Amino acid sequence: MKGKVVITGGGTGGHLKVAKAFIDEFHKRGISPIFIGSKTGQDEQWFKDERKLKKAFFLDTKGVVDKNFLGKIKSLFQIIKEVNHCLNIFDKAEVKTVISVGGFSAAPATFASVLSFGCKLYIHEQNSKMGKLNELTSRFATEVFSSYLQDSLVKDYPVNSEFFDNARVRHEIQTIIFLGGSQGAKAINDFALSVAVKLDKLGIKIIHQTGKADFQRVKSKYEELNLDVDVFDFTSDISKKMSLADFAISRSGASTLWELAANSLPTLFVPYPYAAKDHQYYNAKFLKDKKLCFICRERNLNPEIIDKILKADIKSMSKGLIDSIGYNAIESIVDIIIQNNQK
């Protein structure tokens, strides 16, 4: 492959999971990529000591969205400054390929790839609604990969193989897992607590990821209710937790949504109400339109929903999820990138 590969983007776990999938796949092929992220967010936590990388750079950048006017100007000025930094990195390392997984962390390296002669840009858009950065730069990309775009060469989402390996068809609900994402979701936590006694009386077990901020409160509440619940703040082994469950109640960030789909786990999605362009709702709607999930707005969560879930045909839904996502998405995407860069 001609030149070095840069993988850029992050900020949140969803973007970083896709970055990790690319890093792992290139490493399997004997290519050690460079990672360019931000000092803000979770990027350093994920990749500061990653041995599969040639090198990792964490730039002084912040998001532009949700800032006031002066904050936007300051963030944009810093991004422009770091674009020059990226151009220097590209020049020294002879970078010819940049893969953006989105998020504000991706801005400097993505813009630098557009300005760098002979450098090819590839974009992985995770969500059903394209982010601002990808909207701006997609016209310059050699290829845009997405689970939602009809003209994408690979429509499947890069999901770790362990979610497929632990998949099974569900026939009845004996265990429900509550997932609020890596940061947790108070609304889902409160909903779980409101239905916990009812589920216990029905003999349904509970698995509950609370997020770190709300863990002690939720754990104490379960103890007050004298309920035996598998409650935790975070785990790196979430695929095994999913595999134990027969139904999920979850946020609908792209990575979590497709991990649940890969695990064939029927889900009630509760979209984060403040997500940009309401993308979590439209992520879930993509599956809902195929009758492969349920959606409930956060404001409409109430205990009666459990009765509807227990009457649902989860076997048909679970079977349908098997064909909703392919096993080898990351291999197919990297194949295309390598073939293009050998021309």
Q: List the binding residues for UDP-N-acetyl-alpha-D-glucosamine.
A: 12-14, 127, 182, 280
Residue 111 in tokens: 């813009």
Distance separating alpha carbons of residues 86 and 248, to the nearest angstrom: 41
What backbone torsions phi and psi does residue 341 show, to the nearest 5 degrees? -85, 0
Residue 209 in tokens: 């990821």
With H, G, I as helix, E, B as strand and everything else as coil, classify residue 82. helix
- Positions at the binding site: 12-14, 127, 182, 280
Q: Is 41 left (phi over 0), alpha (psi -120 to 50) or beta?
A: left
* The 143-146 sheet, strands edge to edge: 55-59, 34-38, 4-8, 95-100, 120-125, 143-146
Distance separating alpha carbons of residues 52 and 64, to the nearest angstrom: 30
Distance separating alpha carbons of residues 159 and 25, to the nearest angstrom: 12
The 10 Å Cβ neighbour count of residue 259 is 25
> Exposed, middle or buried by CB within 10 Å (0-12, 13-18, 19+), for 182?
buried
Contacts of 316 (CB under 8 A, 6+ apart): none
What backbone torsions phi and psi does residue 192 show, to the nearest 5 degrees? -60, -45
Residue 325 in tokens: 């996502």
